[in-house]
Amino acid sequence: MNTQEIPYKIYLEESEMPAHWYNVRADMENKPAPLLNPETLKPMTLEELEHVFCTELAKQELDDTTPYFEIPQEIREFYRMYRPSPLVRAYCLEKKLDTPAKIYYKFEGNNTSGSHKLNSAIAQAYYAKKQGLKGVTTETGAGQWGTALSMACSYFDLDCRVYMVKCSYEQKPFRREVMRTYGAAVTPSPSETTEVGKKILAEHPGTAGSLGCAISEAVEAATATEGYRYVLGSVLSQVLLHQTVIGLETKAALDKYEIVPDMIIGCAGGGSNLGGLISPFMGEVLRGERNYQIIAVEPVSCPSLTRGKYAYDFCDTGRVCPLAKMYTLGSGFIPSPNHAGGLRYHGMSSVLSQLYHDGLMEARSVTQTEVFQAAQQFARIEGILPAPESSHAIRAAIDEALKCKETGEEKTIVFGLTGTGYFDMYAYQRFNDGEMTDYVPTDEDLKPGFDSLPAL
Amino acid sequence: MNTQEIPYKIYLEESEMPAHWYNVRADMENKPAPLLNPETLKPMTLEELEHVFCTELAKQELDDTTPYFEIPQEIREFYRMYRPSPLVRAYCLEKKLDTPAKIYYKFEGNNTSGSHKLNSAIAQAYYAKKQGLKGVTTETGAGQWGTALSMACSYFDLDCRVYMVKCSYEQKPFRREVMRTYGAAVTPSPSETTEVGKKILAEHPGTAGSLGCAISEAVEAATATEGYRYVLGSVLSQVLLHQTVIGLETKAALDKYEIVPDMIIGCAGGGSNLGGLISPFMGEVLRGERNYQIIAVEPVSCPSLTRGKYAYDFCDTGRVCPLAKMYTLGSGFIPSPNHAGGLRYHGMSSVLSQLYHDGLMEARSVTQTEVFQAAQQFARIEGILPAPESSHAIRAAIDEALKCKETGEEKTIVFGLTGTGYFDMYAYQRFNDGEMTDYVPTDEDLKPGFDSLPAL
């Protein structure tokens, strides 16, 4: 097809939007290792998971054979308020880079949560409501997940309790206010409202908190309160399942114009966005139908795929959650305060970890100054001010497009632009003022994290 | 047409996007009164306007007979990066209000400037570049216009100097950083960089600044610097012309589904968004083809249409700009610090003022707590966190939909959702904390403004 005919933005019709989520595990020969009960070290059962998660979500978490899950009508109606997201042809960026590469990005930032997180938040809120629960608890770091969940709970009239990492709570008052506008109760973590919070505060008075610690508090709050369950915005296989709406829309939009990408690039923190984007493409690879170069991009300062160990580990600092087999820096790993933005989780989705372990995708790490250079360049050319997280993928996409310029290859690059950076202006300010630096952990720096790995 | 067939969001194809702006003045029997030279009190000539504005823009400003202006190809390419904006059917809001009314909103917030301002910013930057200028100067209050212009200048590689009202500069550091990310130089106003700024600082030391004062500084900076011109984000007829892309897209989307609105609602500050939205519909009214109820919504605390005088007045506090005949509170009017958000300009587009004077549209004013109640309700139901400015239109749309509930009328309501409130979280915080109050100016409060009107 003539490139002249491809619009700047490909929008699917409502009738073309996905009616099912795709469960990539069904097509994996090597299944992701099961979650383990931290006490018995045996695979988690449905009964055990139901204690923490809604029943339907627990089922999705454990199901590695059903390839498609129908998206309930109520969720599809909510999706229609902010989806389909556009698949954008980056004509202006291509021109500026003077590259023969064709660059597309799937933009998930055009909703008030500012990111793809809403795709799973609305699903999790729906199942909680359907089960007759009163509310849900969760943690949030940068605040995107918490905002998304607040929006979803407000829509389904569910109570929403968010444990927000204390340093973010203080540094990002506007994120907090967005959540409050949607009716959520936001507590800085660690807090005195949970036993694990009290314990952490006693051991580390004045701590700025961490995501792992906030997870522990949210889980405790859910399991200790009648009618509540815990929900999580990344890492879990159920979240990855919901996020496949990104990849399915992307694939439908590409198919509509008979475009076959050569490579697919996404940033990787807990892995939900990357997993959601690549799942339908990975499915083709797993079924032997087609091949793609798939690249995960992570921060140099939190390099779970590129420098982590493939091992069973705790998902949270408080060690109350199940163990997952994943690429991990150890639940005791604490990202440097130098690091701006998200992607600071110590582990990685067990689905993606297995795929990476099997050589089905690549990973690379980039420094944050490189990332912000790409973010600024992208903002000025394509108009969208990207989230720092998303800008990891931009960095890699630009690097690949520049390689094409050298080799003359007309590769088609698709990357995930997960969100906008409107609430990350502190980090941009540091960059604008020339005050941003990079932190590259030494092996010595990574040692305490690895030492925290459980001996199984 | 069956309502079931109308999607949640109507997007035009690229081929359906407007190729021309529509100049409503061409169809007006009573033309807006001409701008006057503040020294000679005679109508401004092209030569005089060229001193301040780019030549093409000065021509657009003066032209009240040409009905259509072709949108240059370069601008249409930029429009394709973030346009068409969706015309959204507010199914969820209708359901929650339990109204027989059908509600649509044209959402202009899905771009990094966060509002419709980008539609004119890119046009003004284009003409400046085409004329071979080095850069442009402007003022910004809430920061949306400054952000839009920064984005546009960055795209065309033009220097951009923004005078930002001092209180906003201090209260909205993130807006400032967005502008800096796009390469703009941002100066708090009043400043020592201009004569008028020095004068104002000498007379009112410690002043928090005002939009009228920032305009004066930006105009002086432009006229005093070789290769620079001044650009303005609202009020002017050229800006209203560029903003008709909103109304033309809205009309094309409605026509596509054979929808005929009963009423069109927009918030009104300087008038560019409202004017752009209603122009094509007003054109039909002026040509006797159809009739619509058109409603301008303004803040009770800055009521230029509902309580202002229809008179020649200065556009800026420093009285360096031409005089415009408009509904005005007087250039000496200073909005109460109680007032959150934009829509704080003392006057109103001379085009809209004439239409209002001729009884072709209505105006009403609303208090800010009513506005934030509507904003919160809208956010929770429709998912989008609206700008305070836009929420004036939401308030009126909800009020009209509730009237329909009482009367049982199935009216079709279209309103302009001009932007998002991500940088207005201070105001939301005040509302969330129950600390927001209303200010209704007495006649006595309005007197100083009226006393500042020039005696012509």
Distances (CA, A) of A104 to A191, B110, B111, B141, B213: 43, 18, 18, 35, 44
- Could you tell me what percent of chain B has a pLDDT over 90? 86
C-beta of residue B405 within 8 angstroms of C-beta of residue B116: no
The DSSP secondary-structure symbol of B419 reads B
Task: Report the DSSP beta bridge partners of residue B415.
Answer: B105, B265
- Strand A87-89 and strand A68-70: the pairing is unpaired
| Chain B residues inside the 8 Å CB shell of A110 | 110
DSSP state of A24: G
Contacts of A376 in chain B (CB under 8 A): 181
Residues 6+ apart with CB under 8 A from A129: A156, A157, A158
Chain A residues with CB under 8 Å of B81 CB are 8, 88, 92, 382-383
DSSP 8-state secondary structure symbol assigned to residue B62: H
The percentage of chain A sitting over the pLDDT mark of 90, rounded to a whole number, equals 86
Q: What is the 3-state secondary structure (H, E, C) of B123-151?
A: HHHHHHHHCCCCEEEEEECCCHHHHHHHH
The pLDDT of residue B1: 44
Look at B429 and A385 and tell me if their CB atoms are within 8 Å: no
pLDDT value, residue B4: 52
- Asked if B81 reaches chain A (Cβ–Cβ under 8 Å), the answer is yes
Q: At what angle do helices A118-130 and A237-256 cross, to 10 degrees?
A: 130
Q: Which two tokens stand for residue A287?
A: 């079924």
* Cβ–Cβ < 8 Å for A208, A166: yes
Looking at residue A420, what DSSP letter applies?
B
CB contact B379 to A (< 8 Å)? yes
Instruction: Give the model's pLDDT for residue B316.
Output: 82
Mean residue pLDDT across chain B: 94
What is the DSSP track for A303-323? Answer: -HHHH-EEEEEESSTTS-SPE
DSSP B317: T
pLDDT tens per residue, range B337-365: 777 777 888 999 999 999 999 999 999 99
What pLDDT does residue A4 have? 52
In A, minimum Cα distance to B6 occurs at: A14
Of chain B, the end-to-end C-alpha distance in Å amounts to 54
In order of their start, the domains of chain A are 3-16+73-114+237-451 (3.40.50.1100)
Q: What percent of chain A is modeled with pLDDT above 70?
A: 99
User: Considering chain B, what percentage of its residues have pLDDT values greater than 70?
Assistant: 99
How many CB atoms lie under 10 A from the CB of residue B438? 16
Q: How far apart are CA A345 and CA A327, in angstroms?
A: 11
Q: How far off is chain B from A302, nearest CA to CA, in Å?
A: 25
For residue B2, the model assigns a pLDDT of 46
Higher-confidence position of A45 and A206 = A45
For residue A108, name the pLDDT band (cuts at 50, 70, 90): very high
Half-sphere exposure of A12 (CA within 13 A, CB side): 26
Beta bridge partners of A314: A323
A379 contacts on B by Cβ (under 8 Å): 112, 154, 181-182
Q: Which two tokens mark B243?
A: 């903003």
Closest CA to B400 of B445, B427, B362: B362
Query: What residues contact A425, with CB distance under 8 A and at least 6 apart?
Result: B173, B174, B177, B178
State which of A15-24, A139-148, A424-433 shows the largest mean pLDDT: A15-24
Interface touch A92/B81, C-beta < 8 Å: yes
pLDDT tens string A305-329: 999 999 999 988 778 789 999 999 9
Q: Please report, for chain B, how many H helices and E strands are present, in that order.
A: 18, 15
pLDDT at B3 over 60: no
Q: Is any Cβ of chain B less than 8 angstroms from the Cβ of A210?
A: no
Res B240 pLDDT > 90: yes
Are A384 and B183 an interchain contact pair (Cβ–Cβ within 8 Å)? no
pLDDT at residue B279 greater than cutoff 60: yes
- Nearest residue to B390 via CA among B365, B421, B367, B426: B421
Q: Which residues, in sequence order, are bridge partners of residue B137?
A: B161, B230
Euclidean distance between CA atoms B251 and B319, whole angstroms: 38
User: Mean pLDDT, to the nearest integer, of B6-21?
Assistant: 96
Helices (H), B230-358: 237-256, 272-286, 304-307, 350-357
pLDDT digit string, tens, across residues A391-404 = 999 999 999 999 99
Q: For residue range B254-272, what is the model confidence (pLDDT) as tens digits?
A: 999 999 999 999 999 999 9
A31 and B CB contact within 8 Å: no
State the Cα–Cα distance between residues A395 and A376, nearest whole angstrom. Answer: 10
Distance CA B338, CA B436 (A): 8
CB atoms within 10 A of CB A214: 31
Nearest to B112 among A180, A379, A432 (CB): A379
Report residue B382's pLDDT band, with 50, 70 and 90 as the boundaries: very high
Chain A residues lying within 8 Å of B382, measured CB to CB: 81
pLDDT digits (tens, 9 = 90+) for A361-370: 999 999 999 9
Distance CA A52, CA B292 (A): 55
Compute the CA torsion angle B129, B135, B138, B143 (nearest 10 deg).
Answer: 80
The answer to whether A428 faces chain B, any CB pair under 8 Å, is yes
B420 touches chain A (CB under 8 A): yes
Please name the residue that has the structure tokens 């930032």. Answer: A109
Confidence of residue A211 (pLDDT cuts 50, 70, 90): confident
Distance from CA of B77 to the nearest CA of A (A): 9
Q: Which run of H or E residues covers position B180?
A: helix B173-181
B80 contacts A432? CB cut-off 8 A: no
Task: Return the DSSP state at B414.
Answer: E
**Under a CB-based contact definition with an 8 Å cutoff, are residues A380 and B182 in contact?**
yes
Distance of alpha carbon A142 from the chain centroid = 12
Decide if pLDDT at A37 tops 90.
yes
For residue B189, pLDDT beyond 70: yes
Residue B192 pLDDT exceeds 80: yes
CA distance linking residue A432 with residue A209, whole number of Å: 27
Comparing A95-109, A334-348, B146-160, B433-447, the range with the smallest average pLDDT is A334-348
Please give, one letter per residue, the 3-state secondary structure of A174-235.
HHHHHHHHCCCEEEEECCCCCHHHHHHHHHCCCCCCCHHHHHHHHHHHHHCCCCEEECCCCC
Q: pTM of the predicted model, to two decimals?
A: 0.95
Question: Measured between alpha carbons, how far is residue B353 from residues B191, B246, B268, B309 in Å?
Answer: 32, 20, 11, 10
Task: Please tell me if residue A420 touches chain B, with a CB cutoff of 8 Å.
Answer: yes
Q: How far is it, in rounded angstroms, from Cα A386 to Cα A376?
A: 8
What are the pLDDT digits (tens) for B127-170?
999 999 999 999 998 789 999 999 999 999 999 999 999 988 98
The pLDDT of residue A213: 86
Confidence class of residue B320 from pLDDT cuts 50, 70 and 90?
Answer: confident
Residue A102: pLDDT band (50, 70, 90) is: very high
Q: Is A156 on the interface with B (CB under 8 A)?
A: no
Q: What amino acid is encoded at A365 in this protein?
A: S
Q: Which residue has the tokens 């209303």?
A: B438
Determine, for residues A155 and B383 on separate chains, whether the beta-carbon distance falls below 8 Å: yes
Q: How confident is the model at residue B37, as a pLDDT?
A: 94
Q: Does B182 touch chain A (CB under 8 A)?
A: yes
How far, CA to CA in Å, does A441 sit from each of A107, A142, A338, A447, B361?
Answer: 31, 22, 11, 10, 64
Distance, CA of B401 to CA of B399 (rounded, Å): 5
- Answer whether A384 touches B (CB < 8 Å): yes
Within 8 A of A428 by CB-CB distance, chain B residues are 177-178, 180-181
Q: Residue range A279-307: average pLDDT?
A: 97
- The widest CA-to-CA distance across chain B, in whole angstroms, is 65
Give the separation between CA B94 and CA B412, rounded to whole angstroms.
Answer: 11
List C-alpha distances in Å: B303 to B309, B345, B354: 10, 9, 16
Distance between first and last Cα of chain A: 54
A81 reaches B (C-beta below 8 A): yes
Q: Bridge partners of A162?
A: A138, A186
The answer to whether B174 faces chain A, any CB pair under 8 Å, is yes
Arithmetic mean of pLDDT, B5-12: 94
Closest-CA residue to A259 (of A391, A87, A83, A401): A87
pLDDT tens digits, B83-97: 999 999 999 999 999
Nearest CB partner across the interface for A383, out of B88, B112, B381: B112
CB atoms under 10 Å from CB of A95, counted, come to: 11
What does the block give as tokens for A192?
């005195």
**Alpha carbon distances (Å) from B309 to A260, B353, B392:** 62, 10, 22
Which chain B residue has the Cα nearest residue A90?
B81
Q: pLDDT at position A80, please? A: 95
